[in-house]
A and B are shown apart, each in its own frame.
Chain A
C-alpha cells in the first residue's frame, strides 16, 4: 500500500496568516496517462463528513475559495491556506487515488486559530 504521511499533526495560525500543510507519499502518485498527480485534499469540520477541496494535486473543486491552493508533484505535496479565516478551522487530509482500487489517506492535520 502507498503510505501517506502528513506534517505537522497540528498547527495554530493567526487569523489572516498563511497555513501550510505537507503530505508525503511512500511512492510517486504521478499518473502517467495524463501526467497528473493522483492526490486530493479534504477538509473535515467537527461533526461533518469530509469535503473535497483540491484534486489532481492543484485543481480547486468548484466553490472552494481561492485562498486554498495545492502544489507539489511525485511524492511531495502542499496545501496552503493563504489567509486563514475562522471558518477554516478543521482537520485536513490528503489522499492518494493512484493505487486504485485501493486508496489511502494521510493521518490528518488539525488547523486551529492562534
Chain B
C-alpha cells in the first residue's frame, strides 16, 4: 500500500525556518517525481515545488523561489522541504504528493502537516 506521511509542521515566527519531511513506503520511491502542495486554511490548492526522480532537477512556484528548497533521500525514501524566511502567507497545510512523471497528475497524497506562521 502506498503511504506518504508528512511531519515537521508547527508554529513559527515570521522570518523563521522550518523543515518538513515526508516518509514514503509501499512503492519504489526513486522512480517517481515528488511534490509539495499547500492549502491555506479554508482556501484552495497551490503547487509549491517538485523534484525529479534522482533529485537533479527542481522547480518552484514564484512566491517561494529563493526561500524554499526541496530535496530527497532515495535511500531513506524521504522527501524534504526546507522553508526559510517564512511569511504569514505561508501558513497552510503542506501535502507531499507523488507523480509518475512531470506530465502526469498527483496520484497519491499524504495527510498533510500544518505550518502556522504567526507572531
Check if A and B associate. Answer: yes
Q: Which 6 A-B pairs have the closest CB atoms?
A: A40-B105, A49-B109, A101-B59, A100-B102, A105-B45, A103-B47
Interface residues of B (CB under 8 A from A): 33, 35, 44-47, 50, 57, 59, 61, 95, 99, 102-107, 109-112
**Chain A nearest CB, measured from B34 CB (Å):** 11
Residues of B within 8 A of A61 (CB): 107
Contact B44 A52, beta carbon cutoff 8 Å: no
The distance in angstroms between the C-alpha atoms of A81 and B92, with both chains bound, is 29
Contact B46 A97, beta carbon cutoff 8 Å: no
Given contacts A49-B110, A49-B112, A101-B57, contact A93 B104 (CB under 8 A): no
Main secondary structure on A side of the interface with B? loop
**Chain B nearest CB, measured from A1 CB (Å):** 8
Closest to B104 in A: A97
Contact B107 A52, beta carbon cutoff 8 Å: yes
Contact B102 A107, beta carbon cutoff 8 Å: no
Is A72 in the interface zone, CB < 8 Å from B? no
Residues of A within 8 A of B99 (CB): 97
Instruction: Report the contact-size class of chain A (Cβ under 8 Å from the partner).
Output: 20 to 34
Is A50 in the interface zone, CB < 8 Å from B? yes
Closest to A61 in B: B107
**Chain B nearest CB, measured from A39 CB (Å):** 9
Closest to B33 in A: A101
* 15 CB-based A-B contacts, threshold 8 Å: A38-B103, A40-B106, A42-B106, A48-B111, A49-B95, A49-B112, A50-B106, A50-B109, A52-B105, A95-B105, A100-B102, A102-B59, A105-B46, A105-B47, A108-B45
Contact B61 A55, beta carbon cutoff 8 Å: no
Query: Of A48, A49, A51, A101, which is within 8 A of B50 by CB?
Result: A101
Given contacts A49-B112, A61-B107, contact A101 B44 (CB under 8 A): no
Within A41-87, the residues touching B (CB, 8 Å) are 42, 44, 48-52, 55, 61
Residues of A within 8 A of B109 (CB): 49-51
